[in-house]
Amino acid sequence: MQIEKITRQGYSATLSKEVLWDIYKSMKMQRLLEDRLLKMYKGGQLSGAVYPGIGQEACMAGIGAGMDSKDIFGGTHRDLGVQIKKGVTLKEIALNFFGKNDGPSKGRDGNSHFGVVDKGTLMVVSPLPDSAPVAVGWALASQQSGSGVVAVANCGEGATATGTWHESVNMAAVLNLPVVFTVQNNQFAYSSPNDTEFGTPNVADRAAGYGIPAKIIDGNDIYEVIDAIHDSCENARNGNGPSLIELVTFRHYGHAGHDPAEYVNDEVREFWMKRDPIARFEDALAQEGLFTTEQFVSLSEDLEAEIKETLDWAKNQDDPDPKNEELDMFAERKTPKIENSENNKETMNFIEAITNGLDELMDNDENVFMMGEDIGVFEGAFKATKGLFNKYGPFRVIDTSISEGGFTGAAVGAALAGKKPIVELQFYDFVYPALDQITTEAAKYNWKAGKPVPMVVRGPTGAGTRSGPFHSISPESLLAHHPGIKVVAPSNPYDAKGLLVAAVNDPNPVMYLEHKKLYRKPDLKMEVPLGLYEVEIGKGKIVKEGSDITIVTWSGMVSVAEQAADELSKDGVSVEIVDIRTIVPLDEEIILNSVEKTSNLCILQEDVPFSSIASEISSLVAEKGFWNLDNPIIKVTPPNTHIPFAPVLEDAFIPSVEKVVKAIKELQ
């Protein structure tokens, strides 16, 4: 077979013989390893899946070789070659494939779904290209700190059709971030050819839409790949912003081990087999007189032996212990709780307490920064960032494009890079596009990759401002259902600041819910200490003691509970009010203790009832407090509908004092 020749011209021409051998070795390692894994998979010796990147070795080794060792890579399941080139060991890969305890994901994810952040590879997840916004966030942190790190965000051509990719490229372009977007166009998105995925002739054509430079290169020419990646990375490192490289290549096998790829016709296959990246590299190395065929054969034999030996070794390593199943859901906080004498106080309303907290947090720690829509010059839709842009500037109070998924994912990357990002959602209703990043990336990082993600997603929640169905949700149950994230919902200015400080200093993703009706509620003004202090996450508070019935509530409903308690006291009913303050982790003890005291429970929430926090608390008390109950548990909630606009409808939707009083009176 005639092999198309390649030659060294740019940066690759400067590489030493040893460096070239190392690159060749990593390509060979990838091919032999994946070939072996594929055989084991087909022979029933391997669970899960294998996603062979055989045929794309030059893309992967070239990306790895073109990057600086400190640069970060966010890729996909078909990027083992990059991981190998970035220094991830054969042992680490083998352990992950067998789901072993000592593997990079501790058996929590299998096969190529892992990253080793300390070696510069981000966690691989299945929704693609979800690591792209994370890579963008790392680049943002690099830009802020001047570390010179470039992020390479890689995916296949199929994943470029997603909003996530679009938001990532757009954000990087707008903020001029040091990111190189690489797209390995291997002709098929699973089974779908290019013309079913995008309307431009090439992926690279899209770069014009973002105002960034792009290149189309032969992804099977190792030298061209190394040169293009190197040049783009250096460009980005020098402050010239992001670029896009389309690496045209071909996947020798199907999407995964089970896929025979019968959708590829023989002509296409033949075209590409002539351009096999390893054969071309060997040919070029031999032509230059650097290495001989005997050396290639001998390396293959050595690698095959090493692979066999390592896989046999990995197979016999310890499985994870199911009793540790619940470990690592949250990272443990290692810094001490922040306390001050709280002597110096100022009267503030709810939003002033938040603004004051944000200001002091940013003043205290330069790693704290904010991202969100209209939060800079305009100071936010609700003015929560009042004065902050002027004080801290555009690199720490960042106005973002309308890309909730993009900037929330960027917060994950920035957090991994050592920052403490605070994301503002203009309305918490817009958390939906961000949920993928919150649950796929933020919530799973510590569990699956052992890396804490200290970030806060804050924003206004709740109804009552005539804002209709898309500016009014109470998202607590929506969020709390996902393991791995904390959820807090303060009800007064003191707790608002204290919980914000605790949230920013927590090593985990914390969803911070601000009921917008509380922002400027005149009777909620109170003295708030100046200087940083914390209200502990996971601890509720008894806001009113009583003996006849417990109302468990939080956020905007606490004041409703207080008014209902006043009404009921006229009839001699003594109400105890528990403000849980934190939804996750829930303070079970304070609830159970109060029910033990009163024997009656009413749960009051503004969120809709089905499958909600009220249901969860009801279930908790039925399971752990059953023998203390004197009446059925009651839930006072809105109907299970969307939030309506018309004032009469909205007023009827939100639980009122009258509804609480009536529900409790019916019990007695």
Partner 1 sequence: MSEIVTMPQLGETVTEGTILRWLVQVGDEVKEDDPILEISTDKVDTEVPSPFSGKVTSLMVEEGETVEVGASLLELDGDSSSPAVVEKVKEKGSSEENNINEPVKEIIEEVKVENTDLSPAVKNNNLKLSPVVRKIVSENNLDLEQIPGTGSGGRITRKDVEAYMASGNSTKKQPNDTLSQKDVKQTESPKATTGEISRLRRRIAENMVMSKQTSAHVMTSVEVDYENVEILRSKHKKSFKEENGFSLTYLPFISLATIYALREHPVVNSSFDLDKDTHTIHSHINLGVAVDLNQEGLLVGTLREADSFSLKGLARKISDTSVKLREGSYELDDVSGSTFTISNNGSFNSFLTSPIINQPNVAILSTESVKKRPVVIEAQDGTDSIAIRHTGLLSLTWDHRVFDGSVALLFLNSIKEKLENSDWSQELT
Contact residues toward partner 1 (CB under 8 A) are 381-383, 465-467, 471, 516-517, 519-522, 599, 626-631, 648, 658-659, 661-662, 665-668
Distance, CA of 568 to CA of 304 (rounded, Å): 79
Report the length, in residues, of the chain. Answer: 668
Q: Name the amino acid, one letter, at 7.
A: T
Q: Name the amino acid, one letter, at 506.
A: D
Distance, CA of 120 to CA of 72 (rounded, Å): 5
Q: Least distance from C-beta 628 to partner 1, angstroms?
A: 5
Q: Least distance from C-beta 523 to partner 1, angstroms?
A: 8
Q: Least distance from C-beta 662 to partner 1, angstroms?
A: 5
* Phi, psi for residue 533 in degrees, rounded to 5: -150, 165
- Structure tokens of 646? 């018309």
Q: Which of 567, 554, 562, 545 is nearest to 616 (CA)?
A: 554
Q: Least distance from C-beta 595 to partner 1, angstroms?
A: 9
Nearer to partner 1, 595 or 614 (CB): 595
Indicate the SS3 state at residue 466: coil
Task: With residue 315 as reference, give the H or E element that holds it.
Answer: helix 293-315
Q: Which residues pair with 121 in a beta bridge?
A: 73
**CA dist list (Å): 47 to 44, 107, 258:** 7, 12, 12
Nearer to partner 1, 11 or 645 (CB): 645
Annotation says 515 is catalytic: no
Nearer to partner 1, 73 or 382 (CB): 382
- Structure tokens of 393? 């500037």
The catalytic residue among 252, 471, 482, 515 is 471
For 626, what's the count of Cα atoms within 13 Å in the CB-facing half-sphere? 4
Nearer to partner 1, 89 or 599 (CB): 599
Nearer to partner 1, 35 or 567 (CB): 567
Q: Least distance from C-beta 443 to partner 1, angstroms?
A: 30
Determine how many CB atoms are found less than 10 A away from the CB of residue 199: 8
Distance, CA of 518 to CA of 61 (rounded, Å): 55
Q: Least distance from C-beta 627 to partner 1, angstroms?
A: 5
Residue reference for tokens 């020749």: 5
**CA dist list (Å): 358 to 194, 389, 405, 425:** 47, 11, 22, 15
Q: What angle do CA 463, 490, 652 make, to 5 degrees?
A: 25
- Continuous H helices in 393-541: 404-416, 432-436, 445-449, 476-480, 493-504
Nearer to partner 1, 199 or 522 (CB): 522
| DSSP label at residue 532 | -
Indicate the SS3 state at residue 563: helix
Q: Least distance from C-beta 133 to partner 1, angstroms?
A: 28
Nearer to partner 1, 91 or 386 (CB): 386
Q: Which sequence positions are flagged as catalytic?
A: 471
